[in-house]
Every structure is written in structure tokens, then in C-alpha cells.
Amino acid sequence: MHQKNAATAKLSIEDVQHVVRLAKLPIEPSRVPAFHEQLQSVLSYMSGIQELPTTNVPETSQVTGLTNVLREDVIDTKRMFTQQQALANTKRQHNGYVLVNAVLEEA
Amino acid sequence: MLVDTPIAILRKKIQDKQVSPEEVITDCYDRIDKIQPQLNAFISTVQKETVLKKLKVHAKDMPNPAKPLAGIPFLLKDSYVTEGIRTTAASKVLDDFVPPYTATVCQKLEDAGAILIGKMNMDAWGHGGSTENTDYGPTKNPWDVSRVAGGSSGGPAAAIAARLASFAIGEDTGGSIRNPAAWCNITGLKVTYGRVSRYGCIAYASSFDTVGPMAKTAEDCALIMEVIAGQDPYDGTSSPHPVPSYRAALGTISPQKKTIGIVKECFGEGLDNEIHAAIDQARNELESMGCVVKEISMPLLRYGLPVYYLIGPSETSSNLARYDGIRYGNGREHFTPETMRRILIGTYALSAGYYDAYYKKAQQARTLFIRAYDEALAQCDALLMPVNPTPPPNIGELMSDPLANMLADVYTTSQNPVGVPSLALPCGFTKNNLPIGMQLVGKMFSEDLLLALGHAYQHATDWHTRRPTLS
């Protein structure tokens, strides 16, 4: 994938609309320009990070120093839900199932 | 006022049956009735009758050495799940969510006998530094109710300042314990990443989030830490590093000859004069306690905000993707504009075409920060920094400018990406009687040293004993 030169690329309205879709945020088109302006100002400040010399500097994604933290493959009943607990907070259920919007169309 | 008593003394009085837990709880609820309407610190209050009933069951238990916090009332920032008690993270997305399980930190405290009495207001999902980005109305600063309490743990801070409970558990991802502690005149500890289990803590940025105590004193915080610190099999990021006796450390670790580094980049333009003066005074106090103070330089600190505000939102965009209203909660249209902004920034920074320039660059910068702190802490036992650049603003001021809102976090955002602990302590007041706090930053797992320094400082000063006047 071609990396855009983010140091010179300006955030466009289309970029914001794209990101709104990726993030599954229900934002009406009329509200996008305000977000665009705010995001532009924040990102332009954050772009200062480009100045830092990071050649050959490894990324840090976590600071614990731990790796492969495992547990025994046994059932912990203290962390199991009954069906009732699992359904207790859902707004839409049917016969013990959680309802979701259909993602497949009928043929 | 029973709840103003240090925890060490209060717990002994309860264990010795000089004071009954019912008296303590009743004291708290009387104050909550009068003060909560003025501060709006609570989102959910546990019913007094429920608590009193629970106390009756445990009464025969006392004295009980296995319950070091028996009868001590506490509060939880509403980002900790509690089985059967509504937990909202201050967002309408979880307005009616009743968790089916309890966070480890809460379970440990209840197993130690502590009594939960409230779920507290906060910036939703941890997104904010003023407890204004909440769907439950802002929390007011008890020292001046036209001003913010700070955030994102503003509810807990305001409540402890107003003496509504003995202690609270807040959460710090970029200053969220330290900021409100400083603006409300209480003590707050951002622990080393992994020191306290995050199981049941509603995640903001999973590699930054820390769970920590907020109380009137460093000594109180030490007692709470003895209960909550330690590895948890339910949290794969929690550390196996041994837990010292924090209480004992207060007596055995001396401030004598400890080197305190003053980071000069933190004391330039942008720092309020009164805050600067108060910290100068604290520095003199530390010297007269026997510490050696030296000036050091950390030029990288000016990039602390971008590192935090690129990685934090990236992690939050991922963590908040789970809130789809299907198995629990309400739809994503209920996110506030500030939360949506952070999700958008994070999604953008992670997206194809921008990932290298933003997220990857920030993670590399994070490595540079770790090296910078290692270097600074190799020369010093702790670093002294301000917490907030200004006194608490008026309600509404920060929310009107998203960028200004972020810039207010300048002193507290570099510690979380690195993982180092920091203790926020009261160190003075402005001429308008608004609290000023400072922070002592230490090496990984140096909470015992920080608490010992804080305890010694609180012996030599009395800022932390001052209380706001509330009718």
C-alpha cells in the first residue's frame, strides 16, 4: 500500500467521511465539516512528531516486558455466565438468542 | 467528622469497637445528602439500607485481621464494573448497563472489608481532563463550584475532597488521577503500568490505563495499595513484580540524600506563576527534609502530547469498537462529540496510508521517551513536575476548544506511555484559594519510595489537611 506523505497531506472532508465509515460512527453529513475543522487543528499540532529522529528506533507497544502470559487450560466456573446473565442486558432477544440486524439478503 | 480520620486510625477504632461501621457510614450518607447536589460527584449511589444490611452481616466478624479495611467506605470511578450495580463510564451508551461481574480491584477491596457506597462521575470513557465530557452533568470543584473538578476522575476527587468517603479508586491514562487530585487538594497515585489489575476496568487505552488510589494522604494511599496491588490471573498485563509492604516503607525509606530532579522544561512559559511559586516552595521543603535537588533537562517532553494523543485515541478507537448496542448498551450515536473526535483521530492514525506517519511514528517516539526517562531516573530517585499548567478553569472554558483541552494535559501525558508511576500531592493554594498540586515521578515499581517521600512531605506541611467550606 502506498504510504501517503502525511507531513504534507492535508486532511480532506473525504478523508473524514472515510474514517467516519471505518469507525462506524453514525454522524450526519451536516456535522462532518465541524469535525473536519477540529480534526485538522488537532492533527496539525500532533504532526510535530514528524520532527523526531526515529531511524532504527524500534516501536514500543507495551511496557510490561512480559511475553506469552498463559493460563492452565481448565474451566473457571467463576467466570462463566448462565444464559440468563448473558442475555440480561440485551435490548432484543428471541428464544434465548440475541437479535442482530440481518446481514444477508434473501435470495 | 468521622470520615476525615486517617484510614489507619479509623480502621483501628472500628476493629477495637470504639466506633461502629454504622456510625461511619451514616456520617458519609448524611454528608452525601447535603453535598452531592452541590457537586454532582455521584452517578449511582448504593442504597444506604443495602449497605447497613451488609454491615449487620459482617459485624460479628470484627475484629478481623484478615480484613484490613473493614468498615471503611469507598467510591469507585464509574469505569469499574460492579456486579448488579449499574456501571456507565459516564456515557449514555451504557446508561442502563448492569454488569454481570465485578472488577478485581473492587473485589479485593470488598474482600478486605471495605464498603462501596458510590459509582462516581467522570469524563466518559476517560476522555477528558475536567469531568465535563460526561452525559451526567459536570462535577463541580468543591473549592469553587463555578470551576471544574478536573478529570477524568473528577467525581472521585471532588467527593474525597468533600469528605464523602475515606478513599476512592480512580483511573489514570494520561493524568486522570493526578489532574483532579491536584485541582481538588487530595493525594492521588498513578501506579506503574501493570501494578494493579485492570480486570473489570472499562478500557480507554489498554497499554496506558492504570488503576490507582485517591485519598487524603500518601499514608492512606499506601494502605489501599497493600490491598489492591499484585498480579491477577485475570489480567495478562498485570505484573508478577513482588508487592512490598507500602505501609512499612513509609517508616523505613528516608528522604535523606534522595535526589529529586527538577525538569527544567516543565517550568518555562505556559506554567502559571502561582503554581511555579508553590512548587519552588515545595522544592525548598524537600531540601530541608534532606533531599538533594538538581536541575535536569528532558527536551523530549515537548513531544509528550503528540505521542499520547496519537496512541491513546488509536487504542480507544479499537476498544470502543465493541460498543454496538447488540449484547448490551445503546447505540454509537450516543457517544459525545469529544469521544467521537478521539475515535476519529485514532481510526485515521491507524488507517492504511497514515499508519506509518502517525501510529508507528508515535510508537517509535514512545521508545525514545522510555530511554529519556531511564536516563533522567538514572541520575535521580524521583522527578518533580507540575501537574496542571493552570489553576482549575471555569466550567465550560475547556470544552469550547478541543485543542486547548488537550494542551492542558501537557505535564501528565508522558508518564503513561512509558509506564512509570507518579504521586500527585497538594502543595499550596492560589490567592483565590484554589488548590495547587505537584507530582513526584519515579522508576517503574518505585511506589514505595514515592509514597515515603509524600508521607514525609505531608509530615512537614499541612496543605493536604485543608478542606473546602461546603454548607
Whether B400 has its CB under 8 Å from any CB of chain A: the answer is no
Contact B303 A52 (CB under 8 A): yes
Q: Which residue of B has its CA nearest to A11?
A: B348
Per-residue confidence (pLDDT) for residue A3, from 0 to 100: 43
Contact B236 A60 (CB under 8 A): no
Whether B101 has its CB under 8 Å from any CB of chain A: the answer is yes
- Cα dihedral A90→A91→A95→A97 (10° resolution): -40
CB A69 within 8 A of CB B240: no
Residue A9 has pLDDT above 70, yes or no: no
**A20 vs B306: CA distance, rounded Å:** 22
* Of A4, A51, A64, Cβ closest to residue B353: A4
**Maximum distance among all Cα pairs of chain B, rounded to whole angstroms:** 67
* Of B239, B240, B344, Cβ closest to residue A35: B344
Q: Which three cell numbers stand for residue B463?
A: 496543605
Whether A7 has its CB under 8 Å from any CB of chain B: the answer is yes
* List of residues 6+ apart from A101 with CB closer than 8 A: none
- Cα dihedral A17→A22→A25→A28 (10° resolution): 20
Per-residue confidence (pLDDT) for residue A40, from 0 to 100: 94
Contact A49 B310 (CB under 8 A): yes
Q: Which residue of A has its CA nearest to B305?
A: A46
Task: Kindly report, residue by residue over A45-56, the tens digit of the pLDDT.
Answer: 999 999 999 999
CA distance A29 to chain B (A): 13
Per-residue confidence (pLDDT) for residue A8, from 0 to 100: 46
Residues of A in contact with B194 (CB under 8 A): 63-64, 66
Which pairs with CB-CB distance under 8 Å and at least 24 residues apart come from B271-274? Answer: B271/B386, B271/B389, B272/B389, B272/B390, B272/B391, B272/B430, B274/B391, B274/B428, B274/B430, B274/B431, B274/B436
**A28 vs A25: CA distance, rounded Å:** 9
CB B97 within 8 A of CB B37: no
Residues of A in contact with B100 (CB under 8 A): 81, 85-86, 88-89
Whether A103 has its CB under 8 Å from any CB of chain B: the answer is no
**B148 vs A54: CA distance, rounded Å:** 38
Per-residue confidence (pLDDT) for residue B399, from 0 to 100: 86
Contact A7 B343 (CB under 8 A): no
**B351 vs B353: CA distance, rounded Å:** 6
Per-residue confidence (pLDDT) for residue B380, from 0 to 100: 98
CB B225 within 8 A of CB B246: yes
Q: Tell me how crowded residue B259 is: count the other CB atoms within 10 A of its CB.
A: 15
CB B442 within 8 A of CB B420: yes
**A48 vs B310: CA distance, rounded Å:** 11
Per-residue confidence (pLDDT) for residue B54, from 0 to 100: 85
Q: Tell me how crowded residue A80 is: count the other CB atoms within 10 A of its CB.
A: 9
- Cα dihedral B187→B193→B194→B198 (10° resolution): 70
CB B350 within 8 A of CB A1: no
Residue A5 has pLDDT above 60, yes or no: no
* Of A5, A6, A39, Cβ closest to residue B358: A6
**B92 vs B333: CA distance, rounded Å:** 10
CB B114 within 8 A of CB B73: yes
Residue B335 three-state SS:
coil
Closest CA to B150 of B63, B237, B214, B100: B214
CB B429 within 8 A of CB B125: no
Residue B295 three-state SS:
strand
Q: Tell me how crowded residue B406 is: count the other CB atoms within 10 A of its CB.
A: 24
Closest CA to A48 of A2, A4, A6: A6
* Of A42, A50, A51, Cβ closest to residue B345: A42
Q: Which three cell numbers stand for residue B183?
A: 485541582
Closest CA to A69 of B207, B240, B243, B191: B240
Q: Tell me how crowded residue B352 is: count the other CB atoms within 10 A of its CB.
A: 11
Q: Tell me how crowded residue A4 is: count the other CB atoms within 10 A of its CB.
A: 14
Residues of A in contact with B321 (CB under 8 A): 23-24
B169: left (phi over 0), alpha (psi -120 to 50) or beta: beta
**Can you give the pLDDT of all 471 residues of chain B as single tens digits?**
899 999 999 999 998 989 999 999 999 999 999 999 999 999 999 999 999 988 887 777 777 888 999 999 999 999 999 999 999 999 999 999 999 999 999 999 999 999 999 999 999 999 999 999 999 999 999 999 999 999 999 999 999 999 999 999 999 999 999 999 999 999 999 999 999 999 999 999 999 999 999 999 999 999 999 999 999 999 999 999 999 999 999 999 999 999 999 999 999 999 999 999 999 999 999 999 999 999 999 999 999 999 999 999 999 999 999 999 999 999 999 999 999 999 999 999 999 989 999 999 999 999 999 999 999 999 999 999 999 999 999 999 998 888 888 889 999 999 999 999 999 999 999 999 999 999 999 999 999 999 999 999 999 999 999 999 987
Contact B332 A24 (CB under 8 A): yes
CA distance B97 to chain A (A): 6
**H/E element, B110:** helix B104-111
**B346 vs B362: CA distance, rounded Å:** 12
CA distance B365 to chain A (A): 7
- The one-character DSSP state at B358 is I
Whether B299 has its CB under 8 Å from any CB of chain A: the answer is no
